[in-house]
Amino acid sequence: MILEWDAVKSESNKLKHGISFEEVRRLLERGGIIVVLENPIYPGQELIIFRDETGEIFEAAAEKRGDATRLITAHKSRKMRRKYGQ
């Protein structure tokens, strides 16, 4: 998966949600993906559900752009934690 993102948005996401897009990429590359779902609220977006090293569940919203996937936001997800465990 080729990931791209806006550097300013990544820093903003780190301040607001505690995770940067660089960290998201690292976690996805190490095999932390649980499932990729169609976003029910925003057609055309995907929700990437993944774990960090401690088992915490995160959700990232992304859009396909050609061969790349552009990260939009990422955050811890209580809803997905209930669904996929921890």
Instruction: State the Cα–Cα distance between residues 17 and 11, nearest whole angstrom.
Output: 10
State the total domains in the chain. Answer: 1
3 state DSSP class of 59: strand
Domain residue limits at 64: 2-84
| This model's pTM is above 0.85 | yes
Q: Is 45:62 a contact under the CB 8 Å cutoff?
A: yes
Question: Which amino acid is residue 79, in one-letter code?
Answer: K
pLDDT in tens, the chain (86 residues): 899 999 999 999 999 999 999 999 999 999 889 999 999 999 999 999 999 999 999 999 999 999 999 999 999 998 888 888 75
Instruction: State the Cα–Cα distance between residues 6 and 51, nearest whole angstrom.
Output: 22
